[in-house]
Amino acid sequence: MFYPQEMTGVQLIVPSRDVMAVTKVLVDQGIFHQRDGSFLSTEKELGSTGNWPEKANAYAGLERRIYNVMRQLSLEEEQLPEAKVSSALELDEARQAVDQVEQEVKQASDKLAAEQKRLEQLENSLKQLEPLAGIELPMGTLRNPHFLYSILGVIPNPNIDRLQTSLERIPFVFLRLRQDEKESVVWLAGMKRNADVLDRAARSAYLNPLVLPEVYQGTPSEIIAFLMIDIAHTQEHINELKATIDRLSKDRKDQLQSLLWTLRTSRMLADAVARFGQLQYTFLIVGWVPTARLEEFNTVLKQVSKYVIIETFPFKRGRTDLNVPVSLKNPRIMQPFEILVNTYARPRYEEIDPTFLLAITFPLLFGAMFGDVGQGLTLALFGALLASRKVRLLHGLASLGGLIIACGLSATLFGFLYGSLFGVETILPALWMRPMNNILLILGIAIGAGVFLLSVGFILGIINSWVAKDWGKFFFDPHGLSGLVLYWSLLGLAAGLFLVKLPFPPIIFGGIAVISGIIVMFSETLNRLVKGYKPLIVGGTGTFAIQTFFELFESLLSYLSNSLSYVRVGAFAVAHVGLSAVVFILAALVSSPAGPIYWVVVAAGNLFIIGFEGLIVGIQTMRLEYYEFFTKFFSGGGMRYEPLAVRPKMDK
């Protein structure tokens, strides 16, 4: 829980005749993370793996085609049943199966798309003709004069004068056939040699032409009647095609799901084999397995192929030239906090996993800033609603449910400590203090808590450097041992001068601070010395002097700013009380406490505080974790552990 799972490198030499059986077992187990190359420094030359890459691409293409068919049938991918991986489907057989079901669905889908497009065109024609319903004049007369070029359409009333003005230089006829408050149905005609001028003028005046198929003849009202009949018939045909597709969806559901899983299995097997190294009569398979499951892994492989050769390469915590995959295995209750950690960065293999620390510090910091019994319980209930996935619109936030529950319960706890219930401080006794009455005290406690957390961060960074055997960073880094000594000595010096009387002169802390500060100042040079890098000084002497001075200044500034950043915990606790008081002041301005409007304003104000201030406090808590706490020990950059396994994409 405090570190990623320990991994062991595995190198398998498998006879060619057993390679598919072994690959199926690897996918079945779902614990083998494949890598290319070899763990051995003296590696034999590996040959090609034949046409397996082409097969993998072909299976991937067929898999995409099945996805498209399922999308056309409105079918969602279901969970993979708990079954062993079957053999890879032969490509010709797979293509034949996909072609058959795709063709069947395509015919119905194409017909439906064509009918829907026809319906859209008919409805558009009807919409264009409706303004002409009262005009008893054949459309052919207006639309197809023998010697004139004409445009029949709808134009905004304010643009009519502009249209007529732009056509003053040519002969034209302009008739209003129908007019309402905003627009008019008009007929614009002129000589055919002036067609371009008429078109440009019509477009500039936003005259929208009525475009109707030539098949419709007669007056507008007669054409509208024909259109209504065609629309009804088309809609009826669309309903029939939808029913056909629904039947196809029900009849082909199991077949498509099975074919999808089989194709995915085939694609994964082919892709895995394509990445194997091939010798003359054997295949070389390289990857990682969690150490805790190594014995099980070896046993199953020996049952499948008694000739398989298994070599293991344990990777203990420490510096390694290989990027070992990182698998975080935290209890289910900590999954929301693991998401927060991975949002920042995935831990490296030799790094401490900060999920456990985040699960403690994040709710505590949030609760300290948002302490209220009623508002905290409301927030926790909202988190429970998110986690339950009962509200479809909130499904995307379900992963945050556990985090919000923890923050809400922490806010409830601090609400009892502060004696606050929905912003009222006269109902519950304060088990600790009331922030508004102890502003300086709570601000000082917040800074003290920040100093403690930053010290923990320094210590964790030192531990990480110890585990990684990075002695330069361990001793000399601004966040290493020298940095911690410098930080604590500065705190001791400040405490001795301004806060408490020490039994010894505070100058002792000053001397320690100077020595550790010099070490931190030249940390890069000392680090290069420990690692044997040359030259020790990069760049000119003047540049080096300026750079080291400003790096020390930056470190000192970060120590100060990081420590003072935690004052916001106390400040938000005070501001929370003040904001709650404002709600009651506003309610009193609107109505007396005896009236219902007063309590409506109070309820609305509390909901606003829970939503808006809760979001702000959450962001501030995340900032304290990411930029103050994590930067002391957590660098991230680990590779995700992705074992070979057939699983639906929704799981990822």
SS (H, E, C) 158-207: HHHHHHHHHCCCCCEEEEEEEECCCEEEEEEEEEHHHHHHHHHHHHHCCC
212 plus 254 within the same structural domain: no
Range of lowest pLDDT (93-107, 121-135, 382-396, 444-458):
121-135
Same domain, 81 and 151: no
Asked if residue 25 belongs to a domain, the reply is: yes
pLDDT value for 648? 46
Q: In whole angstroms, what is the distance from residue 122 CA to residue 527 CA?
A: 77
pLDDT: is 317 or 102 the higher one?
Answer: 102
User: What is the pLDDT at residue 85?
Assistant: 53
pLDDT digits 0-9 by tens, 219-234: 778 888 888 898 999 9
Range among 199-213, 521-535, 568-582 with highest mean pLDDT value = 568-582
What would the DSSP string read from start to end of 557-613?
HHHHHHHHHTHHHHHHHHHHHHHHHHHHHHHHHHS-TTSHHHHHHHHHHHHHIIIII
Asked if pLDDT for residue 244 goes beyond 60, the answer is yes
Domain of 203: which CATH number? 3.30.70.2750
416 contact partners, CB below 8 Å, separation of at least 6 = 373, 428, 431
pLDDT reported for residue 311: 92
Mean pLDDT of the residues in the chain: 87
229, part of any domain: no
Assess whether 260 and 195 both reside in one domain: no
Same domain for 262 and 199? no
DSSP code per residue over 434-478: -GGG-HHHHHHHHHHHHHHHHHHHHHHHHHHHHHTT-HHHHHHST
Q: How many CB atoms lie within 10 A of CB 187?
A: 20
Give the angle subtended at the CA of 318 by the CAs of 317 and 322, to the nearest 5°: 100
Summarised one tens digit per residue, pLDDT across range 362-402 is 999 999 999 999 999 999 999 999 988 887 777 778 888 99
User: What confidence score (pLDDT) does residue 137 get?
Assistant: 65
| Residue 185 counted as domain residue | yes
Q: Decide if 176 is inside a domain.
A: yes
Q: Does residue 594 belong to any structural domain of this protein?
A: no
**Domain assignment of residue 286, yes or no:** yes
Residue 194 has pLDDT above 50, yes or no: yes
Element (H, E) at 246: helix 220-275
Residue 25 CA to residue 12 CA, distance in Å, equals: 13
DSSP state of 348: P
Q: Which of 342-356, 391-405, 522-536 has the highest mean pLDDT?
A: 342-356
CA distance to 25, 49, 86, 355, 357, per residue, from 276 (Å): 15, 7, 20, 35, 40
Within its chain, how far is the Cα of 367 from the centroid? 26
| 283, pLDDT greater than 60 | yes
Q: Is the pLDDT of residue 60 over 50?
A: yes
Say if residue 12 is in the same domain as residue 78: yes
Mean pLDDT of 272-297: 89
Name the phi and psi angles at 151, rounded to 5.
-130, 125
Q: Both 251 and 211 in a single domain?
A: no
Q: Is residue 288 part of a domain?
A: yes
Looking up tokens 């995915």, which residue turns up? 264
| Domain assignment present for 251 | yes
More confident residue, 365 or 67: 365
* pLDDT in the model for residue 442: 96
Please tell me the distance from the alpha carbon of residue 326 to that of residue 269, in angstroms, as a whole number: 23
Residue 42 has a pLDDT of 47
Cβ contact 1:274 at 8 Å: no
Give the number of other Cβ atoms within 10 Å of residue 545's Cβ: 12
Among the candidates 326, 360, 381, a domain finishes at 326
Mean pLDDT in residue range 18-38 = 88
Is 192 found in the same domain as 265?
A: no
Mean pLDDT of all residues in 59-71? 87
Note the pLDDT of residue 402: 92
Residue that terminates a domain, selected from 310, 326, 342: 326
CA nearest neighbour of 14 among 291, 296, 293, 278: 278
Do 157 and 205 sit in the same domain of this protein?
Answer: yes
| Shared-domain flag, residues 12 and 59 | yes
Number of domains within the chain: 2
Say which amino acid occupies 17: R
What range defines the domain where residue 260 resides?
7-85+245-326
Residue 142, pLDDT score: 58
Domain boundary among 266, 297, 326: 326
Please determine, for residue 115, whether its predicted confidence score (pLDDT) is greater than 50.
yes
271 and 312 part of one domain = yes
- Check residue 82 and give its pLDDT: 55
